[in-house]
Structure 1
Amino acid sequence: MKTTILTPSLSRQAGGIFEAERRLSQALHRLPDVEIEVVGLRDEKTTADLPDWAPLTPTVLPTWGPEAFGYSPDLVNTLLGTDADLLHLHALWMYTTVAALQWRRATQRPHVVSVHGMLDSWAVNNAEWKKQIVGWLYEHRSLRQAACLHALNDEEYEAIRDYGLETPVCVVPNGVDLPGTAPDRAPPWAETGVPEGDRVLLFLGRLHPKKGLSELLAAWEKVEPNGWHLAIIGWDDGGHEAVLQDQATEAGLTDRVHFLGPRFGEEKGAAFHHADAFILPSHSEGLPMAVLEAWSYRLPVLMTPACNLSEGFRSGAALSIEPSAQGIADGLGRLLDRTFDEWREMGEKGRALVEQSYTWPQIARTMREVYRWVLGEGPRPDCVYVD
Structure 2
Amino acid sequence: MKILEVATFKLGACGPTEVLIPIIKNINIENEHSVDVFSTLTFDEKKEKKIKSLNANYFYKQKNKILSKKEIVAAIPDFETYDLIHIHGVYNIDNIMIAKLAYQMSIPYVITTHGNLMEESLQHSKIKKKAALFLFIKKFLSHAECIHALSNKEKKDIEKIIKHKNIEIIPNGIELLENSYKKENGIKDDKISLLFIGRIDIHHKGIDILIDSLLSLEENLIEKYELYLVGPYDGHFDEEYIKSKIKENPILESVIKIEGPKYGNEKEVYYEKADIFVHTSRYEGMPIAVLEAISQGLPILVTPETNLADIVEQSKNGFITSANVKEVEKSLIELNTFNKMELRELGKRGKNWASLNLSWNIISKKYLKMYSKYVGD
| TM-score normalised to structure 2 length | 0.87
1:272-308 CA-partner distances (Å, limit 9, x unpaired): 1122211111122233322222121111211112223
SS in 2 for 1:259: strand
1:96-135 CA-partner distances (Å, limit 9, x unpaired): 3223223314422111100111111111121121112222
The answer as to whether partners of 1:10 and 1:50 remain within 8 angstroms in 2 is: no
Shift of 1:344: 1.8
Q: Which 5+ residue runs of structure 1 have no aligned equivalent?
A: 66-70, 378-387
- Distance verdict in 2 for CA 1:247–1:17, change over 3 Å: farther
Work out which of the residue numbers 198, 216, 221 in structure 2 matches 1:222: 216
Shift of 1:12: 3.7
Q: Superposed, which structure 2 residues align to 1:290-369 within 5 Å? A: 290-308=289-307, 309-313=309-313, 315-369=315-369
Bigger Cα displacement from structure 2, 2-11 vs 243-252? 243-252
Shift of 1:360: 0.6
Partner AA of 2:170 in structure 1: V
Shift of 1:199: 4.4
- Distance verdict in 2 for CA 1:90–1:340, change over 3 Å: same
- Distance verdict in 2 for CA 1:186–1:165, change over 3 Å: farther
- Distance verdict in 2 for CA 1:49–1:2, change over 3 Å: closer
The answer as to whether partners of 1:91 and 1:116 remain within 8 angstroms in 2 is: yes
| TM-score normalised to structure 1 length | 0.85
Q: Which 5+ residue runs of structure 2 have no aligned equivalent?
A: none
Identity %: 22
Partner AA of 1:207 in structure 2: I
Task: Give the structure 2 partner of residue 285 of structure 1.
Answer: 284
- Distance verdict in 2 for CA 1:166–1:216, change over 3 Å: same
Shift of 1:137: 3.2
1:309-363 CA-partner distances (Å, limit 9, x unpaired): 2341354311122222222121111111112222122112211221121111111
The answer as to whether partners of 1:76 and 1:99 remain within 8 angstroms in 2 is: no
Task: Give the structure 2 partner of residue 235 of structure 1.
Answer: 232
SS in 2 for 1:330: helix
The answer as to whether partners of 2:100 and 2:140 remain within 8 angstroms in 1 is: no
Shift of 1:185: 9.9
- Distance verdict in 2 for CA 1:91–1:236, change over 3 Å: farther
Aligned equivalents of 1:43 and 1:261: distance in 2? 29
Partner AA of 1:155 in structure 2: K
The answer as to whether partners of 2:6 and 2:95 remain within 8 angstroms in 1 is: no
Aligned equivalents of 2:200 and 2:47: distance in 1? 20
Work out which of the residue numbers 74, 81, 84 in structure 2 matches 1:77: 74
Task: Give the structure 2 partner of residue 59 of structure 1.
Answer: 59
- How many residues were matched structurally? 365
Partner AA of 1:226 in structure 2: E
Q: Superposed, which structure 2 residues align to 1:150-165 within 5 Å? A: 150-165=148-163
SS in 2 for 1:211: coil
